[in-house]
A and B are shown apart, each in its own frame.
Chain A
Amino acid sequence: MKEKLDENFVKSLVLIAQGIAKGKCDPYDLVNGAMEYLIKNKEKYMDHPNIKALAVLKMKGLFIDDIRKSKNFTSLTDEEGKDMEIKDDQQLDMVEKMEVSSETKKVLKTIKSMGEKCQEILMLAADQMSMQEMQEITGVKSIGTVLSRLSNCRKELKGLLPT
């Protein structure tokens, strides 16, 4: 089903961007960049079956570009092909500035303290994305991997939050 391009669509991107920005850039900048891309490439995306996934993938691309430009990394994977951890030095301040409940801040801060894969998949889950969409965005090979990653990350999240 085609995504309705309304404010909820953009707010979904803002939510998911929280899991992509990883403290190295402003999530809103990623959304802004993805929106600009969609505007400039209307003819390409108009028939795209999942515009949200397309926009999220663009945000991931923008994030990688941003990191590369910062000259901290030339690649986001190490020599063995494993994801490199990117030091989180801004996100907690950004969360503090948000006008959301203290409970929400606590959960968001906890997620941002987790590994990048967990940050990403948990924010996709917070957007109520389907497993298929999560697979498309995360680029993992199978739905089974998505389920496995999500179950591990949710368990970890619950363990990190005080009861």
Chain B
Amino acid sequence: MIDDVKIMQYADGTLPEEEKATVEKAIENNPELKKLLKDYQESADLLFNLGQSIKSQPLPDALKEKLKLLNAGQERSLKMKTPFSFFNIFKVQYAGVAAALTIFFYGGFYTQGVMMAKKDTGITGGKTEMQMAAKKEENKLKPVDQFKNDLSSSVSNVYKFFNEEQFVSDVNNIIGDLKKGDEFELSLKDGAGTLIKFILVKNYQSNNGLECKNIAFKKKTKLSRSDLGTNIELDLCKRNNKYQLVSINISK
């Protein structure tokens, strides 16, 4: 007998192979079952999109701290000074790509840059996240909570529309032909669906001799409904014959 569950399983692609033909045949000959199939397909999409949408929300700082405690050695974690909370947003969403990279975030309303680094990047001299956090403490560079929240939101909002993997892939196809001041477009669109215009700002060498390029979004980009516009710059350095994203600079 073809019941609702079978139709749902068929819609989800979880129906056992040996039952598919029977269900397909029943659906073909029955408009009601066709409608039911469509409803289940649509509800699957709705739930998937709902999950993705809620998961795209940045986590509150308190939960990020709990996560750090969960992953760290408990005793050590309890003693650990609080590192910048926005780091996790980046780490999770783009963990695979970011693993070998150094990330810089700058706030234009903040007088000094903040550097977050991971081990063995080869660019920062192998400083660890904790060392960098400690260094910030020593230098009294700890920003106020509001700054942390703003920057955290900004970074996560960038990644709502900025597909890093796509960007790196696309830009590597043309970067060799670009000269300083050249403007170009890739397939990337901003949050409003407009193609992003980039400009090659400068070519430079990193401290350890890597060939790097600084690329900026030509126009200010709105990162949230309340944002009046944010400057975004990207630094890419060549490693293993490919340019990799090493930093994102955000300023007002």
A140 at the A/B interface (Cβ < 8 Å)?
A: no
B47 at the A/B interface (Cβ < 8 Å)?
A: yes
Q: Tell me which residues across on chain B come within 8 A of A152, comparing CB atoms.
A: 4
Stretch at the interface among A66-74, A83-91, A122-130: A122-130
Which chain B residues numbered 205 to 230 have a C-beta less than 8 Å away from chain A? 224
Q: Tell me which residues across on chain A come within 8 A of B4, comparing CB atoms.
A: 151-152, 155
Contact status A15-B55, CB under 8 Å: yes
Kindly provide the distance from the CB of B231 to the nearest chain A CB, expressed in whole angstroms. 22
Per-residue A-contact encoding for B106-150, CB less than 8 Å = 1, 0 else: 000000000000000000000000000000000000000000000
Contact status B42-A7, CB under 8 Å: no
Contact status A107-B8, CB under 8 Å: no
Interface size on A, residues (CB 8 A): 44
A5 at the A/B interface (Cβ < 8 Å)?
A: yes
Contact status A147-B9, CB under 8 Å: yes
Interface of chain A, main secondary structure: helix
A108 at the A/B interface (Cβ < 8 Å)?
A: yes
B82 at the A/B interface (Cβ < 8 Å)?
A: no
Q: How far is the CA of A155 from the CA of B44 in the complex (A)?
A: 11
Known: A8-B92, A126-B48, A158-B42. A31 touches B8 (CB 8 A): no
Contact status B55-A35, CB under 8 Å: no
Q: Give me the interface of A with B, judged by CB distance under 8 Å.
A: 5-12, 14-15, 18, 28, 31-32, 35-36, 38-39, 42, 98-101, 103-104, 107-108, 111, 122, 125-128, 144, 147-148, 150-152, 154-155, 157-158, 161
12 interchain pairs, CB-CB under 8 A: A5-B71, A6-B91, A7-B88, A10-B59, A10-B64, A15-B51, A35-B63, A39-B69, A104-B50, A108-B54, A126-B54, A154-B8
